[in-house]
Amino acid sequence: MNAKLKRIGLSTFLIGSLSIFAATTVQAADIKVMSDSPLEPALTKVVDLYRQHTHNQVSLVFDPSPVVKKRIEDGETADVVIVQPDFAEDLTKSGKVSAGDRPIIAHVGVGLGNRKDGPAHDISTVEKFRNTLLGADLLVFNSVKSGQAFANVLERLGIAETLKPKIVRTAPNGIFEPVLKGKGDDMVAGTIPLIATTPGIKLLGPLPGDLQSTLTYTAVLMANTSQRDTAEGFIQFLASPEAKKTFAANGAK
């Protein structure tokens, strides 16, 4: 092959390579997802799986549903929002998210935990659970939906007034600090995935029997997304059998 042909061949190769690179760049997309905090351990794993399948990049922002709602109402933008259905409904009414299908992607239960160096209490029955709570030195839970569900449990068990001096209510992201700083038999009630994955905290178990309640999460499309096709594809992936299996393996069924 003479020099001229070699140069033509090299040019063709470089043009072809650049075309492939450009096509790959066009196909890949970046989206931003704002999600309720209790889903963080499971959703992070699901997004890793999504990236492997699509090579799209996902920026995850986690906050409690009320905070996500306020941030969006204050003007923050995203492509997909994952919150509890009543917050999704409010955002739809305000025009911040698109109306239409809202697939339920996961359910998260409520559990009880204590410090890793604390006693391994058995809370597998309602009576054992009740006795464990009565023996607590401190009982911490949040001031939003899962915390209110737990407060209702204490009322049902007839021990709300007895435990009142030991109860600390906090913001959703503040429930673990009082327990981690404590010295006694201190306990935290909250969503199971967060209890199970917080360093220094161990999960004693889910609330037993019909005392259990779950938080439901739905995924919705932001009305002003510039990545509509990618965002819709991401929501479809969240509802896929593979994603649901990964959710379930990480505490969000």
Query: Can you give the residue ranges of every domain in the chain?
Result: 31-106+216-249, 108-214
Query: Which listed CATH number (3.40.30.10, 1.10.357.10, 3.40.50.880, 3.40.190.10) goes with 108-214?
Result: 3.40.190.10
pTM comes to: 0.80
The answer, yes or no, to whether residue 172 has pLDDT greater than 90, is no
Per-residue model confidence (pLDDT) at position 7 = 45
Per-residue model confidence (pLDDT) at position 240 = 94
The answer, yes or no, to whether residue 17 has pLDDT greater than 80, is no
Per-residue model confidence (pLDDT) at position 100 = 79
Query: What would the pLDDT profile of 209-224 be if each residue is shown by its tens digit?
Result: 999 989 999 999 999 9
Mean pLDDT, rounded, for 57-61: 96
Residue 199's φ and ψ, nearest 5 degrees, are -55, 135
- Judge whether 194 and 202 are in contact, CB under 8 Å: no
> What architecture is domain 31-106+216-249?
3-Layer(aba) Sandwich (3.40)
In the beta sheet, which residues pair with residue 113? 188, 203
Instruction: Tell me the CA distances in angstroms from 55 to 47, 59, 211, one per residue in order.
Output: 11, 13, 42
The answer, yes or no, to whether residue 12 has pLDDT greater than 60, is no
Per-residue model confidence (pLDDT) at position 99 = 84
DSSP per residue, the chain:
--HHHHHHHHHHHHHHHHHHHHHHHHH--EEEEEEEGGGHHHHHHHHHHHHHHH--EEEEEEE-HHHHHHHHHTT---SEEEE-HHHHHHHHHTTSB--S---EEEEEEEEEEEETTS-----SSHHHHHHHHHT-SEEEEESSHHHHHHHHHHHHHT-HHHHGGGEEEE-GGGSSHHHHH--SSEEEEEEHHHHHHSTTEEEEEEPPGGG--EEEEEEEEBTT-S-HHHHHHHHHHHTSHHHHHHHHHTT--
Per-residue model confidence (pLDDT) at position 13 = 39
For residue 73, give the amino acid letter: E
Residue 136's φ and ψ, nearest 5 degrees, are -70, 145
Q: What is the CA radius of gyration of the chain?
A: 24
